[in-house]
A and B are shown apart, each in its own frame.
Chain A
Amino acid sequence: MSGSLSGFACPAPDAGGDKITLAHGEGGRLMRRLIQQTVLPRLGNEALNSLGDAAILQTANSRLAVSTDSYVVSPLFFPGGDIGKLAVFGTVNDLAVSGAKPLAISLAMIVEEGLPLETLERVLASVASAAAQVGVPIVTGDTKVVPRHAADSLFLNTTGIGEVFFPIPGPDGLCEGDEILVTGPVGRHGMAVMTCREGLEFNPAPTSDCAPLLDAVTALQQSGLPVRAMRDATRGGLAAVLHEWAQSSRLTMAVQEAQVPVTDEVRGACELLGLDPIHVANEGTMVVAVAPGAGEAAVKVLRRVPHCEGASRIGQAIMGGIAPVVVRRVFGPEIPLDEPLGAPLPRIC
């Protein structure tokens, strides 16, 4: 038996780490720090510094939104979507939540040597069908082929340009009492890709929510309701958006767990893997903030939009909470909700 039970210690590890790890790209705190400490000091300007989904550029007679995104999803095809559909809707959604209607998008492809032509054709067919669905042309593009192992089969980049038709204040303009909504069940995309990639056999399997949000944004605009902020809850999930909003607004985002919609498939998979759906990525679900009292009406408007039938009011912005984001579980006191650090890692037991 070891002598005593006191005086145990752990080592002080190398605190910094001079390499980029996967966690730097996963939408959590590490990524935010990388952007703020490494990217912005070198490249920052007025449009970039806002770190919105899209940059807003003022021209002589209109406001343009520009957004870019790269897609490296593995596997290329997953339940509910594929990299092509994702690349179109992802960029269209970044424009849409900035209140912009897409005018045109570009498509750049980085292809690994050896990719079957048939795979590329399937992806392009999916790009074409997604672009047709939202009525946006692909107006320019680029193709690069790299040696085997220099990329993982196929990477896409899309850049979109749109015209702002629905100017909204954004997260800086959030006020006390504003109501927070989501447009549908959370965590579907992340769980669909994870279970597909890892060969976890759930029945039924979670499917991605990959879909355009333009109709939802248009419906909100036409309703005339006072929308304060919109954000698609991609990497880092709902929790990442709430943390960004808390930081921009200096308010606390207070959420009721019981009101956050989650499908049974996602909930089951998350329970098994020890993950919280609030931290898991979406690709067709956004968080919306509306002025106090407008929450119910906004939910009604959204539920009439295809794909947003599961919209729900999940909480509100409050002053002086105990933490930037707090969640009330089905029972018990309010608990702080941590900002995701990086991609969630499944637990042991």
Chain B
Amino acid sequence: MKFLDEFRAPESCRRLLERIRAAASREWTIMEVCGGQTHGLLRYGIDQELGGCVRLVHGPGCPVCVTPLESIDFAITLARRDDTLLASFGDMLRVPGSRESLLQVRAATGNVRVVYSPLDAVTLAQKTPDKQIVFFAVGFETTTPATALAVQQASRLGLKNFSLLVSHVRVLPAMELLAGDPGNGINGFLAAGHVCTVGGFDTYEEFTARYKLPVVVTGFEPVDLLTGILECVEQLERHEATVANCYSRSARREGNRAALSLIDAIYEPCDRPWRGLGVVPMGGMRLRAEWAEWDAQRRFQQEMPPVAEPAECRSGEVLTGRIKPPDCECFATRCTPESPLGAPMVSAEGACAAYYRYALARRDPRTR
């Protein structure tokens, strides 16, 4: 299949692996920011292949994982109302709230709908005038333009029964939080290629200058991942720290201007709590004042009271690369995809889910 097979070509992968091994004079610690990259790395066992040259630590770039517990509980509260339908990306459904998940609420009330695009939620609002439709707007810069478009569309249609529960996050402020933490041990970053496709990577230049850490814009297929890692290792060996684009088939320095101006028209940056990380300064997006009537929180006049999180789940340490999922005592014992303690175990991009799916046997070798 075009645009896929060439980025999974076994020969190219092997050559890149050899070049990385040859280039690395020591073991470098590189954080891949995006959970999609984490899954790619584990799916192909790239982390194992690079043992000794590169230690890959997994970053916070999983929108499902960092959506605060309060937002999930609020979404659940809405889905429990008789007059409301909560529309969400499928991925959010298994994530545990403080008492239950949206999947459990769907079983109990039927008021949860999986949609593939925020615009489908607008259509749902048109077709269901007797219900309030709330779209659970989660995700990084990759999904923000689409939810901005949904608000515009709903406004154009004059819908009175559509709103957004906004939990959008921005990736660069979280990277700054991590890079500014003296104990992080990170030598370089693989930035998320699709986020850069929307947002560009000119904004990373100041980051590399300040923290003296290379940032390589990287895709998700094995060849993409290995190319990004090679570039990062070569920079580190040369004592350089620049922004490099290894996802040039999609990402441009200035990003997607149309998408960015759409985001800017509807949203503005704000401080936002990330599950596992705490409040990330300017780490989120909120609707601008002139679009506030589309804000579900305002419409339903409800505060999201902070929910205290008991100490058993160590997802915060996982999301900041401090530990790997198998280092958590609960991993694959008290915390499994059927009965998760935290979001990283159930999200399609969660690091714990990736280890459970692809690497469980490494920790617990079976002999039969």
A residues adjacent to B (C-beta < 8 A): 1-3, 5-15, 17, 19-23, 29-30, 198, 200, 250-252, 264, 267-268, 271, 273-274, 319-324, 326, 329-336, 338, 341, 345-349
Contacts and interface: CB of A to CB of B under 8 A. Distances in A.
Interface stretch (B42-50, B204-212, B255-263): B42-50
Main secondary structure on A side of the interface with B: loop
Interface in B273-292: 275-281
B1 A21 contact: no
A8 B177 contact: no
Contacts, number: 199
A323 B360 CA distance: 8
B46 A332 contact: yes
A336 B311 contact: no
A11 B96 contact: yes
Contacts of A333: 45, 48-49
A135 B243 CA distance: 67
20 contacts: A6-B316, A8-B314, A8-B317, A9-B315, A11-B98, A11-B309, A11-B341, A14-B104, A15-B339, A20-B107, A22-B106, A23-B103, A264-B1, A330-B8, A332-B44, A332-B45, A332-B48, A338-B357, A341-B337, A345-B94
Contacts of A6: 316-317, 322
**A8, A17, A320: residue with the most chain B Cβ atoms closer than 10 Å:** A8
Interface of B: 1, 4, 8-10, 13-14, 36, 42-46, 48-49, 63-64, 69, 89-94, 96-101, 103-104, 106-108, 114, 116, 138-140, 142-143, 177-178, 181, 183, 194, 222, 275-281, 307, 309-317, 319-320, 322, 337-343, 348-349, 356-362, 365-368
9 shortest A-B CB distances, which residue pairs? A8-B316, A2-B278, A10-B342, A10-B313, A345-B90, A13-B96, A347-B348, A323-B361, A331-B10
B311 to A, nearest CB: 5
Contacts of B114: 345-346
A349 B143 contact: yes
A23 B177 CA distance: 38
B338 A322 contact: no
Contacts of B310: 9, 11-12
A8 B97 CA distance: 15
Given A19-B108, A330-B10, A349-B194, A250 B94 contact: no
Contacts of A341: 337-338
A273 B116 CA distance: 9
Nearest to B308: A11
A12 B46 contact: no
A15 B45 CA distance: 31
A10 B69 contact: yes
A49 B46 CA distance: 41
B143 A348 contact: yes
A195 B178 CA distance: 40
A70 B308 CA distance: 45
Nearest to A13: B96
A3 B278 contact: yes
Contact of A200 (B63, B98, B116, B183): B116
